[in-house]
Amino acid sequence: MNVCIYRIPLKKSVLFPSSFCPNCGAKIRFRDNIPILSFILLKGECRKCKSKISMQYPLVEFITSILILITYWRFGWGWEFVAKTILCLLLIVIFFIDLQHRIIPDVVTLPGIALGFLFSFFVKSPSVMNSLIGIFVGGVLFYLAAVLGELLFKKESMGGGDIKLAMMLGAFLGWQRIFLVFLISAVLGAMVGGIALFFSKEVKKTQMIPFGPFLALGSILAIFIGDTLISAYIKTFF
């Protein structure tokens, strides 16, 4: 995941060369590349040049491990586990890339759309038709949100990357969950955005906050507690 987060925005291969220090370029040995443990043993420094290793690396490793364990606990072993795990991994990559670079790469979302639809042939939910409709609804819903945002704020409020991400989520989760993801993401975005506008000079200056991380968080919540949230909503308002 860290290799993808670092190299994809730079348009470098995620397969070759093997892992290296971004500061000195030294090849990272296997014993120095064990998730979390190597970071602790190296005291957060490159073995060769002693430059500090970003806390992002152990954080991503920890989040990845936890999400895989939770996915297994929630779905057990099977196609459902494989599909949801791959979705979570894609969302981790998207979360950190969009947070740092304000982009959601097509190289992640476009294959993700195809994978989500492909998995619909093997999982219980969503069905093939539900996944196909989800791709369409996700794209249309977020395109309309982008157009409306541009009309209201007189500037781009949602990019093409967000729209393709929504299509990927529709493929993996089905059209019903897309509305839930949009609602959760909007609420989280409004809360965090309001706080950021108050405390962050950069956000005040640009008046822009990447929406991809909120979509990723909203999607993860929809994966694991979506049924609970939908049931609570129905009981409350109907």
Domain-located, residue 83: yes
Show the tokens assigned to 86. 């791959």
Domain-located, residue 12: no
Q: Which of 215, 208, 210, 99 is nearest to 155 (CA)?
A: 208
Q: How far apart are CA 144 and CA 69, in angstroms?
A: 36
Ranges of residues in the chain with a pLDDT under 70 are 149-150, 152-158, 196-208, 238
Q: Are residues 108 and 187 in the same domain?
A: yes
Q: What is the pLDDT of residue 160?
A: 81
Q: DSSP alpha helices (H): ranges in 9-159?
A: 37-41, 56-75, 79-101, 106-119, 128-153
Q: Are residues 231 and 208 in the same domain?
A: yes
Q: Are residues 139 and 36 in the same domain?
A: no
Domain-located, residue 161: yes
For residue range 88-134, what is the model confidence (pLDDT) as tens digits? Answer: 999 999 999 999 999 999 999 999 999 999 999 999 989 999 999 99
Domain-located, residue 2: no
Q: What is the pLDDT of residue 195?
A: 75
Q: What is the pLDDT of residue 131?
A: 95
Q: Are residues 34 and 115 in the same domain?
A: no
Q: Are residues 24 and 74 in the same domain?
A: no
- Beta-carbon contacts of 68 under 8 Å, excluding residues fewer than 6 positions away, are 85, 88
Q: Are residues 46 and 74 in the same domain?
A: no
Q: Are residues 91 and 146 in the same domain?
A: yes
Give the chain's domain count: 2
Q: Which domain holds residue 61?
A: 55-237
Domain-located, residue 178: yes
Domain-located, residue 75: yes
Q: Which of 172, 166, 112 is nearest to 143 (CA)?
A: 166
SS3 20: strand
Q: Is the pTM of this model over 0.75?
A: yes
Where a domain ends, among 53, 77, 98?
53
